[in-house]
Amino acid sequence: MRSKLVIWGASGHALIVADIVRLQGEYEIVGFLDDVNLERHGTEFCGAPILGGREQLDSLQHLGVQCLIFGFGDCDARLRWSALVRAKGFSLITAIHPQAIVASDVTIGAGTVIGAAAVIDPETKLGENVIVNSLAFIGHESIIEDGAHIGPGARLAGRVTIGRGTWVGIGTTVRERVFIGRHTLIGAGAVVLDDIPDGVVAYGVPARVIRKVIPNEP
C-alpha cells in the first residue's frame, strides 16, 4: 500500500515533482497546497485537488497523510517551511527521476528532488531540500548545501561547493574546486571561474559580482 503524500506548491516545478513521484510509484499524491493563488483552492491541478494552503497541514495529519515534498523553486522558502512541516510530524521525502544517474555513494538529504537525465558523480553530498534540475551535472566530491537549486543543464566540475539556499541558473558552468557562498544567485549561462561570496548576485563570462542581496531566510 502506497503512503499518502501532499506536494506543497502548485506551479511549474510542482508538475515536475509530481511526475517524478508518480514514476517512482511509492506514494499516492492526495493533493497540492498553494499559498499564493487562493482562488485556485478546490480546483484540480496535475490530476489531484488543490486542497488549500498551509492551514491544511493539521487536517492532513488527521487524514493519515504523513509525507510531504516541496514543489516550488524558492530556495529560502523551502528552508523556512521545512522546520514547520517537521514540527507538525510530516516526513520529507526525496524524489529521484528514474532516468537520473546517481552514483551509489552519493548522500541525499530529505526533501531533495533530482530531475530527469541529471548526473551526480561519486562522493557528492546533497543536503536537504536541494533541487538538481533536469540535465544538470555535478562532479565528484562536490557539496550542495541545504535548499540550493542547481538549474537545468548546469555543469559543476569536481569538488565544487554550493552554499545553503543558493540558486545556480540554467546552463551555468562552474570550474573545479570553486566555492559559491550561501544565499547567492548565479545568473543563467554564467561561467564561474573563481569563488563567489555569500549573499550576492553574480553573472557573466567570466562571472562577476553585480550586487548584494538580503536573504529572506533567518
Structural domains of the chain sorted by starting position, each given as residue range(s) with its CATH number in brackets: 3-93 (3.40.50.20), 96-212 (2.160.10.10)
Decide if 121 contacts 176 (C-beta within 8 A): no
Confidence of residue 62 (pLDDT cuts 50, 70, 90): confident
Give me the residues paired with residue 8 across strands. 33, 70
Confidence of residue 217 (pLDDT cuts 50, 70, 90): low
Please give the Cα distance from 175 to 194 (Å, whole number): 8
Please give the Cα distance from 132 to 97 (Å, whole number): 10
Average pLDDT, the chain: 96
Please give the Cα distance from 129 to 125 (Å, whole number): 12
- What Cα–Cα distance (Å) separates residue 213 from each residue in 6, 112, 184, 186, 200? 32, 25, 8, 12, 5
Q: What is the pLDDT of residues 115-174, one digit of tens each?
A: 999 999 999 999 999 999 999 999 999 999 999 999 999 999 999 999 999 999 999 999
Which residue of the set 13, 62, 140, 183 is catalytic?
140
Confidence of residue 4 (pLDDT cuts 50, 70, 90): very high
Q: What is the pTM (predicted TM-score) of this model?
A: 0.95
Please give the Cα distance from 198 to 64 (Å, whole number): 40
148 SS3 class:
coil
Tell me the residue type at 63: L
Active-site residue flag, 41 = no
Decide if 168 contacts 180 (C-beta within 8 A): yes
